[in-house]
Amino acid sequence: MIYGIGIDVEETARFRRLVSHVAGLARVYGPAELAELQRRGRLDSYAANFCAKEAFSKALGTGVRGFSLNEAELLRDALGKPYFKLSGCALHIAQRDGLSFSVSVSHSREYAAAVVVAEKI
């Protein structure tokens, strides 16, 4: 059963300043996620991952409250399919409410977007 849906769109250029601040990156992106993003080195990837986090918070119905953005890491499997690796309070909320998440991201040079569906399991 669908619990919630979230969507977010961001301008890629907004992330140019964030990427230059290491402390800011650690507040937004988790360690495994940040390693992937730094390996790619593309602003559109940073923006897409941020969109996924915002969409995640909307699918929860809470906004970014009760968990930190870096606790919802967006990673990719061997085929490139995005998925969330949750930790800390984000994991606790998902487990408490019995939720699983599906995520889709897209980006161009100028924009990034993500959609997240939260389902009761």
Q: What is the set of active-site residues?
A: 58, 107
Dist CA 52 CA 49 (whole Å): 5
3-state secondary structure of 52: helix
Tokens 């507040």: give the residue: 27
Helix%, strand%, coil% for the chain, nearest 5: 45, 30, 20
